Structure 1
Amino acid sequence: MSNGAAPRVTATRVLDAVLHRGRSLKAELAAQLPALGDPRDRALAEAICFAALRQPARLEAALKAWVPRPLGRRDDELRALLYAGFVQLDPLALPAHAALAATVDAARALGRAHQAGMVNALLRRAQREGLPSVDAAAHWPHWLRTRLQQDWPLEHAGILAASAQPPPLWLRVNRLQQSRDAYRQRLLEAGIESHLDENAADALRVEGSVAMAQLPGFAEGAVSVQDVSAQRVADALALQSGARVLDACAAPGGKSAHLLERDPALRLTALDVDGKRLDRVRGTFARLQLGANARLLACDATRLESWWDGTPLDAVLIDAPCSATGIVRRQPDVLLHRRESDLAPLLATQARLLDALWTTLAPGGVLLYATCSVLKAENEGQVAAFLARTADARADMLDDSFGRISGAGRQRLPGENGADGFYYARLRRSA
């Protein structure tokens, strides 16, 4: 296999698994990228996968227009390879000759030498004619597009467009190690330009792609990769020093880590129902040199007897399981895997978390309900129903830096100020 073919083969295998076997993009990349020894190859394979999954309807339109006979299930891998080839030309705009040659070599490496001529012809046609244009809505399932239009009649087109664009790289500077300004200078010295966010005290935005290994001090815990919307959770909670805090759905650990960077004296309990995902929290804490006194438990947060000692908490964070419709630009396979039937169980889980964990709060304590969704049923509707059935709960309205008013909370839509779609509702228990 030629050197250039290797990342195309990996990208094809990842795309095949995600498109045709319902696998998670994140999980497939984690499993397959390490086999590529060169970090540039890993970056290329990842870029190809994201580019293809952000516009599958456009790529399929090209195949339908140019392939006389529809590809069958036996040609799923070929479809994935052609998707990988198309996106190298548009939108990645790689040098066409090298992209075509390496993709044809990848066809041979995948045992499809008999189809190498077809791959070459189709990619040359894409080079000559360009890929067909399709509306951004075409990539979204009809049921989800309909809900989006109902919830956001004026904004839905912007949500669709923003969700199809690559996001910026947001960094969270570990203030226990250095100031944001000091780390920004380290980035400049490494040839990486960054921009401040006036509303997020620890955030820096980097345009373009930068591998984590290129970030100064990453391995030593100087900085983390975290979208600015997620960083604002710490601001929305506004904890007192040394507070007793629960992070009920903690994995992969970025929000818990940020709280500890703000105040290492926090008495933090971090839970996750998935023990393997909780291992990622431990890894995050270890890299950042945090959490020596934090409790990490693999359990269902609603089963209070498995983790709560009965001492009332000052604050609870519920970063709730949700449709992830606010982070499609980061997880484009959401649009492939999410089903309308998923929504009712998600809504039930969110309500169960709210009801159970509210009882652990001290009078005057705060619960922050957050999601990375833009669906009102999961956000303002969920919170309104909770407030209606909970006599001792009231909302503390957050300021407009958290987004637009949406019921008792605030909604950030995808792409606004370069941020992910996110919802925040700050609820206080009556004294």
Structure 2
Amino acid sequence: MTPGARAQAAIDLLDEIIASARGGGAAADTLIARYFKTRRYAGSKDRRAIRELVYRAIRRSGNIPDHGRAALVGLAREDDAVAALFDGGAHAPSPIEPVEAGSDGLVLPDWLSTRIAPEEHAALLERAPLDVRVNLARTDRASMASALAAELTPFSPAGLRLPEGSPVEASEPWAQGLVEIQDEGSQLIALAARAAPGMTVLDLCAGAGGKTLAMADSMGGQGRLIASDSNRARLSRLAPRAGRTGGIAIETRLLDPGRESAALADLADRCDVVLVDAPCSGTGTWRRNPEARWRLTPARLAQLVELQARLLDISAPLVKPGGALVYAVCSVLPEEGRLQADAFLERYRDYRFDQPGFIAGRQDGAGRLLTPAHDRTDGFFVARLVRA
């Protein structure tokens, strides 16, 4: 493909991503994968260049652009090399008109501008590093750092940070289940659970099981570990991952939304740890999913805050006296983090907050807040709440 054809392909993809964001459809990475699947003529260099243009245009477009061309024109206004791609050649976009509008720059909608500081917003739109968690039950971090040419992460004792673009999933350590791709912040949330051999541990919103597997590693093959979720497709991905990494057997429970308490009633007062990695706005993961900014609205945030409170209410009676409820969200918004944890402690006076046991982040009410600007992790709020 010519450079101009790559630019037009980026515009076509941006049109799809913008329409999907407006309609609540698939995420950008899914749409990009589908696009290339039907265009076998695009080589690896073409795909890499097109993807780079798409994500650069998304990252600098604060509000959702009118269309894909406007998104790329906005980038071209700041980058002469991109502007040169609008040459009107075969399969290339037509030249940019002097009065043609491009998308706006790095701005936030007014309703979010008081919730996210400018320096944090800028950091949330940088490219995310590639972190992995070492399965310490089967190997050691130094050996894996050498094998993968990685550096040690500063906070997680199991974390490694790899050079950008490292083919982790094509490596022997990954194939043997010795490492898992996981941001250092996610690793710290699993550490906050302090899962240990012999415990009964519930991962309420397990998804595909990244944090479940991290806790399994800490349990050393002893105890009871339950992973539950209401999303069948995501939960089904846990079993093959667990089989590759080995370790403790993991129970799975598919929950029916609205009937979670009945499905978990047998665990009342029996769990040493309940991890609630709740559905959230995902503001802390904008480095990986920058178009998620376009999907978030005040109404959507209110729905998520209500769901988070309900999940905490479901979890509270499952924790045995002396056990811990670990609440986490990949968000930097106070409504989903500090204010949510404070409201829980007001409702449940038999709970108190406890330090999560890691040094990263900043104290934020009853929990700790990790951010890309401060900690070089994804944005997370985590609170460890202990039942008296």
Normalised by the length of structure 2, the TM-score is 0.85
1:26 matched to 2:29: yes
Contact 1:271/1:296 (<8 A) preserved: yes
How far apart in 2 are the matches of 1:428 and 1:146? 32
Classify 1:357/1:399 alpha carbon distance in 2 versus 1 (closer, same or farther; 3 Å): closer
Q: Which protein has greater RCO, CA pairs closer than 8 Å, 6+ apart?
A: 2
Q: CA deviation at 1:365?
A: 0.8
Match of 1:141 among 106, 109, 132: 109
Equivalent residue, structure 1, for 2:59: 54
Equivalent residue, structure 1, for 2:201: 245
Equivalent residue, structure 1, for 2:296: 338
Q: What SS is found at the alignment partner of 2:282?
A: coil
Equivalent residue, structure 1, for 2:327: 369
Classify 1:392/1:141 alpha carbon distance in 2 versus 1 (closer, same or farther; 3 Å): same
Letter in 2 for 1:427: L
How far apart in 2 are the matches of 1:323 and 1:270? 22
How far apart in 2 are the matches of 1:307 and 1:399? 28
1:179 matched to 2:182: no
Letter in 2 for 1:29: I
How far apart in 2 are the matches of 1:314 and 1:7? 53
For each residue in 1:169-215, what CA deviation from the matched residue of structure 2 results, as whole angstroms up to 9, or x when unmatched?
11112224421111111123xxxxx2212420111112433344454
Classify 1:281/1:48 alpha carbon distance in 2 versus 1 (closer, same or farther; 3 Å): farther
Letter in 1 for 2:32: L
Letter in 1 for 2:59: R
1:269 matched to 2:226: yes
For residues 37-48 of structure 1, the aligned pairs below 5 Å read: 38-48=43-53
| Unaligned runs of at least 5 residues, structure 1 | 61-72, 109-115, 126-130, 149-155, 189-193
Q: CA deviation at 1:135?
A: 5.7
Equivalent residue, structure 2, for 1:294: 251
Equivalent residue, structure 1, for 2:313: 355
Classify 1:368/1:135 alpha carbon distance in 2 versus 1 (closer, same or farther; 3 Å): same
Contact 1:12/1:84 (<8 A) preserved: no
Q: What SS is found at the alignment partner of 2:173?
A: coil
Classify 1:291/1:182 alpha carbon distance in 2 versus 1 (closer, same or farther; 3 Å): same
- Aligned Cα RMSD in Å? 3.3
Contact 2:227/2:250 (<8 A) preserved: no
Aligned sequence identity (%)? 31
Letter in 2 for 1:187: L
For each residue in 1:403-431, what CA deviation from the matched residue of structure 2 results, as whole angstroms up to 9, or x when unmatched?
1111111111233231111111001111x
Q: What SS is found at the alignment partner of 2:314?
A: helix
Q: CA deviation at 1:348?
A: 1.0
How far apart in 2 are the matches of 1:10 and 1:132? 17
Match of 1:234 among 190, 201, 208: 190
Q: CA deviation at 1:35?
A: 4.3
Please say which of residues 321-330 and 51-60 is displaced more in the overlay: 51-60
Contact 2:274/2:325 (<8 A) preserved: yes
Classify 1:265/1:9 alpha carbon distance in 2 versus 1 (closer, same or farther; 3 Å): farther
Contact 1:141/1:335 (<8 A) preserved: no
Q: CA deviation at 1:396?
A: 0.7
Contact 2:222/2:248 (<8 A) preserved: no
Letter in 1 for 2:262: E
How far apart in 1 are the matches of 2:69 and 2:382? 43
For each residue in 1:114-143, what CA deviation from the matched residue of structure 2 results, as whole angstroms up to 9, or x when unmatched?
xx4xx25339x9xxxxx999763x2x2221
Equivalent residue, structure 1, for 2:158: 202
Normalised by the length of structure 1, the TM-score is 0.77
Please say which of residues 364-373 and 162-171 is displaced more in the overlay: 162-171
Match of 1:162 among 123, 140, 151: 123
Contact 2:356/2:384 (<8 A) preserved: yes
More helix by share: 1
How far apart in 2 are the matches of 1:100 and 1:217? 44
Equivalent residue, structure 2, for 1:278: 235
Aligned residues: 378
Letter in 1 for 2:20: R
How far apart in 2 are the matches of 1:424 and 1:374? 11
Q: CA deviation at 1:57?
A: 4.8
How far apart in 2 are the matches of 1:211 and 1:247? 29
Equivalent residue, structure 2, for 1:128: none
Q: CA deviation at 1:160?
A: 1.5
Classify 1:122/1:35 alpha carbon distance in 2 versus 1 (closer, same or farther; 3 Å): same
Contact 1:400/1:410 (<8 A) preserved: no
Equivalent residue, structure 2, for 1:382: 340
Contact 1:36/1:42 (<8 A) preserved: no
Q: CA deviation at 1:15?
A: 1.9
Q: CA deviation at 1:401?
A: 1.2
Contact 1:302/1:353 (<8 A) preserved: no
Letter in 1 for 2:242: F
Contact 2:360/2:375 (<8 A) preserved: no
Q: CA deviation at 1:283?
A: 4.0
| Unaligned runs of at least 5 residues, structure 2 | none
How far apart in 2 are the matches of 1:50 and 1:417? 23
Contact 1:272/1:301 (<8 A) preserved: no
Letter in 2 for 1:17: E
